[in-house]
C-alpha cells in the first residue's frame, strides 16, 4: 500500500512531527524517509520502522519522499507547505499547586516554556478549576502573558468561594500561542493532567465544619460545609438558628450557602451541623472594616505625652482578638506606638511620647481589623497644640489692702514656650474681672502673679486657667477657687 495521509504538527515552531499511514493493511517493514527543505539544502534520508518522524519545520515548504519496503515497494512524494503544518504548543506542565487553607486560595505555578519560542509572542492560558468527586467545572479563567525566549515560571492565585477543606479541588491548564509569523493552523495545546488538592472529605476519620472561626464582612456570601465521618449521617445545617438548604459535595461533605450575611452578635454566629448522633460547628464573625478615623486631633498637656483623639466612625462589630487595632506612626522619627483602645467607649485616644528636639510631628493613625484597614494622617507643630493641665495648689503668698500675690503649680514641662494665664477675680457684689498675665514656661514649676486694684478688707474669690501665649490652642480647665480677704486699710 502507498504511504498516505501525511500530517505534520509542530509544538515549538522548530521541529515538526510527521505521521502517515498506508493505503492498505499488511506488513510494511522498514521505511526510507527523505526530505529536503525549499532552500535546496541536500536531501536528508534515514530509515525508520515508525510511521512518525521528527524533522525541522520548513521556512515555506519541504519535499518528503517515503519509500516503504514491506510486502510491496511503494514510494510516495509529498510537498508540505507551512500552511499545512499545525502548530499545537506543548502541553503545559504544572510545577506546583499550593493551597492556603486560611484564605481558601490556590496558588498555581507553571513554566511557560518560553525558551523554545521567539521573543515577544503572546501566550494565552486557560485554567480550569474543578471540584467534587465528580470533577464538576467551577470556573475557567483566561490568563495572558508574553513569551520572552526564556522559561518563565508563571504564578496565579485563585480564591475559592468555598473552603478548600470542603471537598477536593482540581486544576488543569492549557495554552494557545499566537505565533503571528507562522502561517499554518494554530490550536490549543492539550489540557495538562489535573493537579488535585484533596478535601478533608477524602481523609479517613476527618470531620469538621469549615471555615473554622473565620471573619467576614457584612454583606458577604459565604459557603460553609460540614465534613463528617464515613458512618455519620447529616440531618441538617443551621446558620444562627435558621436551617439552610444543603448542597451535597460528596458522600461525606455537605454545604450551605449564606447570602448577604448580616452583622453577628458579639460572640459570633454559630454554624451548626446536626448529625445523627451529635453535632459539630464553627463560628463566623460578621463585621465591618474600620472606617477612616475622623477629626484626628493631637495636643499635649505637659510636653511629655502627645494625646491624639479621633472619632472612630461605624463600630466594626468585632471584639476580643478580632477587634479593631490602632497604631500611631510618626513619619519623621519612624516611631510607632500601638494604642490600647476600649472598643466599648465612644471616644478614642492614644498617647505618643514627646520626642527630644522635635516640634513637628507627622502622624499616621493606622486602623485595622481582620476585614480591612484605614488610616488618617495629621501634620502638627506640637507647640501650637498646648492644652495645659489644670493649675493646682493656688495659694496666696502675699496679701495687703489693695493687692494679692498668688502662686500656682502646673504639672508639665513648658520650658520651651510662654504661658498666658487668666486670673478671674470676683467678690460678692462686684463684677467678675479677668486679670491676664503672661510668663515664661517652666519645667514642672510654680508660677506667681499679683492682682492689684483690690478693695481693702474685702473677700475675693480667685481662680486661674492657662494656655500657650504665642499660639493659643485651648485653655486649661479652671483651677479650684481660692478665697481670700484683703487686709484692712492701714
Nearer to another protein, 1 or 313 (CB): 313
CB of 331 to another protein, least distance (A): 30
* Dihedral, 445, 451, 456, 462 alpha carbons, nearest 10: -60
Q: Distance between CA atoms of 234 and 133, rounded to whole angstroms?
A: 18
Nearer to another protein, 200 or 463 (CB): 200
Nearer to another protein, 236 or 403 (CB): 236
- HEC per residue, the chain: CCEEEEEEEECCCCEEEEEEEECCCCCCCCEEEEEEECCCCCCEEEEECCCEEEEECCCCEEEEEEEEECCCEEEEEEEEEHHHCEECCCCCCEEEEEEECCCCEEEEEEECCHHHCCCCCEEEEEEEEEECCCCEEEEEEEEEEECCCCCCEEEEEEECCCCCCCCCEEEEEEEEEECCCCCCCECCCCCCCCEEECCHHHCCCCCEEECCCEEEECCCCEEEEEECCCCCCEEEEEECCEEECCEEEECCEEEEEECCCCCCCCCCEEEEEEECCEEEEEEEEEECCCCCCEEEEEEECCCCEEEEEEECCCCCCCCHHHCCEEEEEECCCCEEEEECCCCCCCCEEEEEECCCCCCEEEEEEEEEECCEEEEEEEEEEHHHCECCCCCEEEEEEEECCCCEEEEEECCCECCCCEEEEEEEEEECCCCCEEEEEEEECCECCEEEEEECCCCCCCEEEEEEEEEECCCCCCCCCCCCCEEEECCCCC
Nearer to another protein, 189 or 269 (CB): 269
Nearer to another protein, 1 or 281 (CB): 281
CB of 271 to another protein, least distance (A): 8
CB of 267 to another protein, least distance (A): 5
Nearer to another protein, 212 or 354 (CB): 212
CB of 312 to another protein, least distance (A): 14
Q: Distance between CA atoms of 241 and 155, rounded to whole angstroms?
A: 42
CB of 318 to another protein, least distance (A): 9
Contact at 8 Å (CB) between 231 and 275? no
CB of 460 to another protein, least distance (A): 47
Number of residues written out for the chain:
490
Nearer to another protein, 34 or 212 (CB): 212
Nearer to another protein, 279 or 437 (CB): 279
Contact at 8 Å (CB) between 89 and 67? no
CB of 316 to another protein, least distance (A): 11
Nearer to another protein, 271 or 328 (CB): 271
Instruction: Name the nearest CA neighbour of 391 among 345, 436, 346, 445.
Output: 445
CB of 324 to another protein, least distance (A): 11
CB of 280 to another protein, least distance (A): 8
CB of 159 to another protein, least distance (A): 23
Which residues of the chain form contacts with another protein (CB under 8 A)?
Answer: 209, 212-213, 240-241, 265-272, 278-283, 319-321, 323, 342-344
CB of 417 to another protein, least distance (A): 38
Query: What does the block give as the cell for 8?
Result: 505534520
Nearer to another protein, 343 or 424 (CB): 343
Nearer to another protein, 120 or 278 (CB): 278
CB of 344 to another protein, least distance (A): 5
Nearer to another protein, 154 or 279 (CB): 279
Contact at 8 Å (CB) between 213 and 282? yes
Amino acid at each position: 500500500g502507498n504511504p498516505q495521509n501525511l500530517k505534520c504538527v509542530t509544538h515549538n515552531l522548530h521541529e515538526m512531527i510527521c505521521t502517515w499511514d498506508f493505503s492498505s493493511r499488511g506488513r510494511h517493514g522498514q521505511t526510507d524517509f527523505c526530505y529536503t527543505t525549499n532552500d535546496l539544502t541536500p536531501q536528508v534520508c534515514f530509515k525508520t520502522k515508525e510511521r512518525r518522524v521528527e524533522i525541522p519545520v520548513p521556512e515555506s515548504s519541504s519535499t518528503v519522499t517515503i519509500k516503504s519496503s514491506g510486502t510491496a515497494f511503494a514510494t510516495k512524494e509529498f510537498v508540505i507547505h507551512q500552511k499545512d503544518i499545525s502548530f499545537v504548543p506543548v502541553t503545559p506542565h504544572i510545577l506546583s499547586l499550593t493551597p492556603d487553607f486560611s484564605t481558601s486560595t490556590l496558588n498555581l505555578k507553571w513554566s511557560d516554556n518560553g525558551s523554545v519560542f521567539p521573543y515577544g509572542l503572546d501566550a494565552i492560558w486557560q485554567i480550569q478549576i474543578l471540584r467534587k468527586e465528580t470533577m464538576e467545572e467551577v470556573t475557567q479563567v483566561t490568563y495572558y502573558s508574553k513569551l520572552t525566549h526564556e522559561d518563565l515560571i508563571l504564578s496565579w492565585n485563585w480564591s475559592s468561594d468555598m473552603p478548600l477543606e470542603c471537598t477536593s479541588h482540581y486544576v488543569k491548564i492549557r495554552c494557545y500561542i499566537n505565533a503571528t509569523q507562522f502561517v499554518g493552523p494554530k490550536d490549543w495545546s492539550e489540557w495538562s493532567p489535573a493537579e488535585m488538592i484533596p478535601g478533608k472529605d477524602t481523609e479517613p476519620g476527618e470531620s469538621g465544619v469549615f471555615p473554622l472561626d473565620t471573619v467576614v464582612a457584612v454583606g458577604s456570601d459565604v459557603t460553609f460545609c460540614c465534613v463528617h465521618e464515613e458512618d455519620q449521617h447529616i440531618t441538617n445545617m443551621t446558620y444562627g438558628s435558621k436551617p439552610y438548604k444543603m448542597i451535597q459535595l460528596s458522600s461525606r461533605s455537605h454545604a450551605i450557602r449564606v447570602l448577604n450575611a448580616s452583622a453577628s452578635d458579639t460572640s459570633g454566629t454559630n454554624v451548626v451541623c446536626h448529625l445523627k448522633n451529635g453535632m459539630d460547628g464553627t463560628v463566623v464573625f460578621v463585621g465591618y472594616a474600620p472606617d477612616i478615623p475622623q477629626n484626628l486631633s493631637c495636643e499635649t498637656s505637659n510636653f511629655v505625652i502627645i494625646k491624639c483623639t479621633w472619632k472612630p466612625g461605624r463600630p466594626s462589630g468585632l471584639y476580643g482578638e478580632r477587634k479593631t487595632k490602632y497604631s500611631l506612626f510618626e513619619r519623621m522619627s519612624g516611631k510607632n506606638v500601638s494604642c490600647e483602645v476600649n472598643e466599648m467607649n465612644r471616644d478614642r485616644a492614644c498617647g505618643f511620647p514627646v520626642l527630644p528636639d522635635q516640634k513637628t510631628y507627622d502622624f499616621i493613625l493606622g486602623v485595622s481589623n481582620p476585614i480591612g484597614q484605614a488610616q488618617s494622617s495629621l501634620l502638627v507643630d506640637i507647640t501650637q497644640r498646648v492644652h495645659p493641665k489644670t493649675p493646682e495648689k493656688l495659694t496666696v503668698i502675699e496679701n495687703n489692702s489693695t493687692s494679692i500675690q498668688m502662686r500656682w503649680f502646673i504639672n508639665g514641662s513648658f520650658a520651651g514656650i510662654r504661658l498666658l494665664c487668666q486670673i478671674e477675680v470676683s467678690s460678692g457684689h462686684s463684677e467678675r474681672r479677668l486679670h491676664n498675665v503672661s510668663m515664661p514656661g517652666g519645667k514642672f514649676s510654680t508660677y506667681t502673679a499679683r492682682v492689684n486694684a483690690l478693695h481693702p478688707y474685702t473677700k475675693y474669690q480667685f481662680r486661674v486657667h492657662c494656655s500657650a501665649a504665642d499660639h493659643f490652642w485651648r485653655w486649661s480647665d479652671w483651677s479650684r477657687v481660692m478665697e481670700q480677704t484683703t487686709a484692712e486699710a492701714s
